[in-house]
Structure 1
Amino acid sequence: MDVIRTDFTVTTDDGVTIAVREVRPDGPAPRVPMVLLHGTTIPGLSEFDLPVPGGSLAEDLARKGHVCYIPDARGFGRSERPAEMEEEPLGQKPLVRTIEITRDLDAVVDHLRDATGQKQVGILGWGVGATCAAMLASLRPEKVSHLVLYVVVYGGVGGHRMFRDTERWDDPAHPYRLNPENFGGYKFNVLAGLEGHWNRQIPVEDKDSWRDPAMLRAFQQALLDGDPTSGTRQPPSYRSPNGMLEDLHLMAGHGQRLFHAGQVSARVMIVLPEYDDLARKEDIDVLVEDLCHAQEIDLWEPEGTTHYLLLDRPERGRDAFLERLDGFLAPADTIPYIV
């Protein structure tokens, strides 16, 4: 089956232009439409539609009969950026909080519903993107049939080791906020950060045996392509707003929920890879307990997998994920929304 890609924009209720890529089959698309939402610092195409074998979850889903939308939230990738991102970052409050991104996601969901004629869609979110996806599902339950929460952060418990250096992370005057001396409205990300984090996840010396080198290069190139200013700095870097990072700090560092999962009524799949260092089992346990009105909860904890299993070699968890996801999404068209 051939796959068709189309790029377009939608406008949010508050007037922000959001870039979207549609990936769909060249033919019937009978299965649940899907929105794929990126995480804290990385725009959508880098995670879900890389031009290398095994690099596009969107294409895999399209070949199964799903229409997929990949948005960049405001401030990310190809979408409209706050004017403050053209200024120096320090001295600004963190830009683009998760609650703002629900407006972007809601606009994309509505466009997908209209385009496909479906009352409900599925959403897959990565990291804090998964938090945002679940937040929207709690606010607009009539629009969301399926939630795939990939390495989700919820805020059930605090004390994440990432935030133990409180002098670096916490504002001395307001501990729940990021330290304004170290963090501003947005950040510059260099490519070495991605490679280093991915390498630390892989528990073997030969990283290429676990991750195709072409995958890493495509990922890095997509990050640079997503920011027109990336080549103006040395080394090249791409910008991302710090709002989702402040929300991550609030949830994982201090155990504060941004919403309550008891308001979610969709079917829910949670993915917690063994070697991931973002999501934590104790936090997921609280999330599962709070999902008291979800139609279904499928908690999958694949052994021997990394934070990047969607882009690792097929035998390193990617094929198993696709099979599990296909089973989770398969009966979607026959399950009605229950008020």
Structure 2
Amino acid sequence: MPVSALLEPSVRYMKAATALAEGPKTARIAQTPKTLVSRDGRTALYRYKAKGPKAKGAAPVLVVYALINRPTILDLLPGRSVVEVLLAGGLDVWLLDWGVPGPEAADEGLEEHVLGYLDRAVDSVRSETGAKAVSLFGYCMGGTLSAMYAALRPEKAAKLLVAVAPIRGRQTEGFLHFSSRPELFDPAVFTLQGNVSPEALNAGFVMLRPVENLLGKYVRYFERAGDPAFDGLFFAMERWLSEGVPLPGRLYRDFVRAVYQQDLLIGKGVPVGAERARAADVRCPLMTVTSAQDHLVPPSSTNALLERAKSKDKRGLEFAGGHVGLAISPKALATVWKQAADWLAEPGSKGPRIKKGGRL
């Protein structure tokens, strides 16, 4: 056997290892064109460039992502972008980028984020477009904050689309099962230095599935390395995962205690300044999107909003995938997100006729 043949596996491994070290740094993500409209402290408001005819009578859509990671996962790559699907549906899509919280943000809680940054972003969209109300699309923690906002400022919420968002905190599975038990989890421990570091947050998520996160995905990478499509997606995901941001300490404590541990959103209400946000006060047309294999936010947590909200138009979609896969799966984009976009695009619509909780 030629020496070159004996060395081939080692050479391939070294090439793959080098690519893994450098690929995420140069991966191009969030390529959909958008314009910076305004800044509010560390936050920024963007408007995506429209594609094709505009949906007549549809309210502008404000995307509200979690503060734990960057919102780029919703526009990861061409063909793997929720934002693309919304734009293809003729929607006027806006993005509230929470930015990177510094030490000065440590004392900013729910009031500053829901009735401060989010409320001002909604008002900016209304002012720029002339719309009386805005459709809110919240993903993960952003969905919880959007639900609070819709409950507190119903006159400004045209529709509410909530995806894989914790609404009912007390669960018997996943991350919520641990974090919702005060005897096991004290959020104050993670905020002794002010904000919660992205390293601390990431470590917690990694340890939910340590074998998969620390070993499994890399085994798959080295098995398939060299495939341009696979490498492109893998590196894009690695870049997104590496761009975690600090979480304001007070917001973290308020959120975990009120939403997870005390279940106030589905009860007497989460304190937001001098007001209380209750799921039962959501009255605008509502749609939830869940993932059957979500190990962070089980469907029963998100769908508690369907049970409690007073909306006359309530719809539920469920995808047979995970928490992050929901945002980038071609199947999810072609089914769940296409139908969600159609629902957002219809003025006064009751949404697609989908059986509540029906899997796509």
Give the structure 2 partner of residue 84 of structure 1.
104
Deviation at 1:95, TM superposition (A): 4.1
Cα gap change, 1:220 to 1:189, in 2 (>3 Å): farther
The residue type paired with residue 324 of structure 1 is Q
For 1:320, what is the secondary structure of its paired residue? helix
The residue type paired with residue 154 of structure 2 is P
Whether 1:129 and 2:142 are equivalent positions in the alignment is: yes
Give the structure 2 partner of residue 62 of structure 1.
87
Cα gap change, 1:249 to 1:53, in 2 (>3 Å): same
Mapped partners of 2:46, 2:190: distance in 1? 37
Mapped partners of 1:135, 1:296: distance in 2? 18
Structure 2: state its 5+ residue gaps.
1-30, 271-276, 351-360
Give the structure 2 partner of residue 6 of structure 1.
35
1:187-226 alignment to 2 at 5 Å? 187-190=196-199, 200=212, 212-222=230-240
Structure possessing the higher radius of gyration over alpha carbons = 2
Are 2:165 and 2:301, in contact at CA under 8 Å, matched by a contact in 1? no
Give the structure 2 partner of residue 22 of structure 1.
47
1:163 is aligned, of 168, 174, 179, to: 179
Deviation at 1:169, TM superposition (A): 2.3
Normalising by structure 1, what TM-score?
A: 0.72
Cα gap change, 1:277 to 1:247, in 2 (>3 Å): farther
Give the structure 2 partner of residue 331 of structure 1.
346
1:49 is aligned, of 57, 75, 95, to: 75
Deviation at 1:277, TM superposition (A): 2.1
Mapped partners of 2:278, 2:180: distance in 1? 25
Cα gap change, 1:164 to 1:310, in 2 (>3 Å): closer
Give the structure 2 partner of residue 90 of structure 1.
none
Give the structure 1 partner of residue 62 of structure 2.
35
1:166-185 alignment to 2 at 5 Å? 166=182, 169-170=185-186, 178-180=187-189, 183-185=192-194
Are 1:121 and 1:145, in contact at CA under 8 Å, matched by a contact in 2? yes
Are 1:271 and 1:299, in contact at CA under 8 Å, matched by a contact in 2? yes
Mapped partners of 1:182, 1:104: distance in 2? 22
Are 1:3 and 1:26, in contact at CA under 8 Å, matched by a contact in 2? no
Are 2:164 and 2:299, in contact at CA under 8 Å, matched by a contact in 1? no
1:252 is aligned, of 224, 242, 260, to: 260
Deviation at 1:285, TM superposition (A): 5.0
Mapped partners of 2:230, 2:348: distance in 1? 35
Whether 1:312 and 2:321 are equivalent positions in the alignment is: no
Mapped partners of 1:107, 1:38: distance in 2? 16
Structure 1: state its 5+ residue gaps.
86-93, 171-177, 226-236
1:275-286 alignment to 2 at 5 Å? 275-284=293-302, 286=304
RMSD: 3.5
Give the structure 2 partner of residue 300 of structure 1.
317
Cα gap change, 1:187 to 1:220, in 2 (>3 Å): farther
More helix by share: 2
Normalising by structure 2, what TM-score?
A: 0.68
Would you say how many aligned residue pairs link Structure 1 and Structure 2? 291
